[in-house]
Amino acid sequence: MDIRNVLRGITSPLVTPFDGGSVDEAALVDLLDHVQAGGVDAVFPCGTTGEFPSLAPAERLAVIERTVEHADVPVVAGAAATSVSETVDAIETAAAVGADAAAIVAPYFTNANDPAGNRRFFEAVLESVSLPILLYNIPQCVGRRIEPETVAAIAEHDRALGLKDSSGDLAYFLSVMERTPDDFLCLQGYDAILVPSLRMGADGGINALSNVVPEVFREVVDDPRADRSRDLQADVIAPLFETCTTYDFAPATKTALVGRNVIPSDEVRPPLVSVDDPGAIESAIDNALAAADR
């Protein structure tokens, strides 16, 4: 299996279902069945939508292991951490249970005081691990973006697989595409600009709403230049994305999954809180599904 070719499609960054404060592994399996039936190419447990900061290390490992056991598609394990040693340990632990790749962010809380600091961090990690690595650019959570020059430098490393960009900055994304080799994957993580990015040459997407409507993302990625894909972006993905940004993605995505009868609970962990108006999410889902059926 060539993981690069697989990720030139749609990857679902899975939510982590909870039940009474504990990880609900049965619901995780149901979620995997749902997204795989919808046609996703890979799955990504323990990312932002998966509430990784709220999981204990043993829970993160259990989620990744259960995902690997049940998935029929490749698994990209979330391995975000703030130190080189902890990041390497998270990656190698995921590798030991069968993950196919890992995704890492720049250190958060203590941001690099110079872009060279992030480059040193990434290089130190890539020199010490056995899995292919996705860089994950999410400045709204980390505090600073991964500069295009840094991405271009890291792209030359043998372990560097690509970049997931969730910044929402299309100009930044296009700059990274322009500066990196063709075999370095540029994956759009901001659902609202998925089709424009694909039409501009993005390799694929890693999108939270593919938890909810994987079949829509499958269709969009298969033929992004079709009029139908433009309509799905405008009438299905964009309205759902706007609704989710109102409530935060993990809570809103879980509420939507409950509405589609995929998982039984919308429970999230502090500091997140559940959606206080699930009817708004359910209405958005109904409208989106009706638009997709047209």
User: How much of the chain exceeds pLDDT 70, in percent?
Assistant: 100
Task: With beta carbons less than 8 A apart as the criterion, state whether 87 and 78 touch.
Answer: no
Write the pLDDT tens digit of every residue in 66-95. 999 999 999 999 999 999 999 999 999 999
- Place 1 in a pLDDT band, splitting at 50, 70 and 90: confident
What span, in angstroms and rounded, lies between the C-alpha atoms of 94 and 219?
A: 30
280-233-136-128 Cα dihedral, nearest 10 degrees: 120
Q: In this model, does residue 173 exceed pLDDT 90?
A: yes
**Residues 6 or more apart in contact with residue 273 via CB below 8 angstroms:** 251
Hey, what domains does the chain have and what are their CATH numbers? 3-223 (3.20.20.70)
Catalytic residues: 136, 164
Q: Which two tokens stand for residue 116?
A: 């060279």
- The pLDDT assigned to 152 comes to 98
Read off the pLDDT band of 16 (50, 70, 90): very high
pLDDT tens per residue across span 118-154: 999 999 999 999 999 999 999 999 999 999 999 999 9
- Write down the pLDDT at residue 294: 81
Q: Which of 181-195, 207-221, 278-292 has the lowest mean pLDDT?
A: 278-292
What is the per-residue pLDDT for 43? 98
CA proximity to 13, closest of 45, 52, 40: 45
**Are the beta carbons of 17 and 27 closer than 8 angstroms?**
yes
The pLDDT tens digits for 237-263 are: 999 999 999 999 999 999 999 999 999
| Segment 171-178 mean pLDDT | 98
